Amino acid sequence: MADWLDQIEYILGVDGGGTKTVVQIADLSGRKITHAVSGASNCNSAGVAKAVENLSAGILTAIKNLNLQNQIYFRSSCLGFAGNNTEKDEKIYKQIVFNKQIKKYLNPDKTIICNDTRIGLAVGSDSKNKIILICGTGSNCYGVNEAGEEVIANGWDYILADEGSGYEIGIKALRAFMRAYDGRGIKTFLSKAIMQDLNLKNELDLTKWAYDAPLSKDKIGSLAKTVCKTAEMGDKVSIKILSEEAHEAAISVTAVAKKLGFKNKQFDLVLVGSVFKCEKYFKKVLTEELKIEFAKINFITFTRSPVEGAIRLAIDNL
């Protein structure tokens, strides 16, 4: 461990997602000094080696921005990762974080490694009863009550449970495209829209797009924007896909809220992620369904960066 008392001390916050990693360095009061962005550090989708590479690149770039890389030491750090759900995950992420490139900058006794939902909720709501629902490339739901009890649902990644995500919407759109092409399904505006958005010359070019490279959650999840666009054009297939996934997201919230005892209590639901930009056919469907089940629910649209929550938790841990 470095002799950190002789170092210039800072706070480190990291939001490690399935699409990108956001790093922020702050002073001991929480004031942002610099930040950096690198590739995905969710080891379930990027792989452990790539997660180490991307996390290290983001942190080292932020440190380089300070021009003090030979003196800096993080007195307290918080790193929130998508896909950090089990004890096994925690062990893997600990190895990722304390890798040989960056461990010398970290104080092991003051480094929090948690799920990314925790950092989002830390800055998304000040209520004692609160839930965060993430619907971006991936999906996740996490809540905490006034007794300090924590509950999670969904967020088990694209094979086991990723309902309500851009990825799930994208997969359904691709399958609707092929069903329409084969004649197994009804015609849909998605066919033309996907070809245009992916710059495909003919329908079967989609197979090359889908299978030529390793699976990318990000490229499939990006099709959620296409589905929202075609839904707004009145496409029944697109509207159905979005409605189904909004319902699935509502199921996750309901499961967490009931376990936390929120049925007749006031609580905040923080909405995070790009899929919520689809206001009419996703966000509205979700919120209307939840209003029926929970009369005292308070919806909050997330407007800050989750990495700010990581900084807050790191400061609380000083």
Q: Give per-residue burial for 97-111: e unless 16+ CB within 10 Å, then b.
A: beeeebeebbbeebb
In contact, 165 and 136? CB cutoff 8 Å? yes
d(CA 1, CA 75): 12
Digit-coded pLDDT (tens) for 169-184: 999 999 999 999 999 9
Name 24's Cβ contacts closer than 8 Å, sequence gap at least 6.
12, 13, 14, 32, 34, 35, 62, 305, 307, 308, 310, 311
What pLDDT is stored for residue 69 in this prediction?
A: 58
What is the fold, at CATH topology level, of the domain defined by 4-121+306-316? Nucleotidyltransferase; domain 5 (3.30.420)
In contact, 143 and 130? CB cutoff 8 Å? yes
Spell out the domain ranges in the chain. 4-121+306-316
Examine the pLDDT at 23 and tell me if it is beyond 50: yes
Instruction: Report the run of H or E that residue 247 belongs to, with start and end.
Output: helix 236-259
More confident residue, 69 or 120: 120
Average of per-residue pLDDT across 6-13: 86
Phi, psi of 15 (to 5 degrees): -110, 100
Digit-coded pLDDT (tens) for 191-245: 999 999 999 999 999 999 998 876 678 889 999 999 999 999 999 999 999 999 9
pLDDT confidence tier of residue 158, bands split at 50, 70 and 90: confident
Q: CA-CA distances (angstroms) from residue 161 to 153, 155, 215?
A: 9, 6, 17
Alpha carbon 157 to chain centroid distance?
11
Q: Which amino acid is at 39?
A: G
What pLDDT is stored for residue 125 in this prediction?
A: 93
Phi, psi of 36 (to 5 degrees): -155, 155
β-bridge partners, 23:
14, 36
Q: 1-5, 199-203, 207-211, 267-271: which has the minimum mean pLDDT?
A: 1-5
Name 227's Cβ contacts closer than 8 Å, sequence gap at least 6.
169, 170, 172, 173, 190, 238, 241, 242, 278
* DSSP code of residue 104: G
Full DSSP string of 298-318? EEEE--S-HHHHHHHHHHHT-
Average of per-residue pLDDT across 250-276: 96
What pLDDT is stored for residue 4 in this prediction?
A: 44
d(CA 60, CA 134): 28
Q: Determine if the pTM surpasses 0.75.
A: yes
Q: Which amino acid is at 315?
A: I
What pLDDT is stored for residue 155 in this prediction?
A: 83
Which sign does the torsion angle of CA 29, 31, 33, 39 carry?
positive
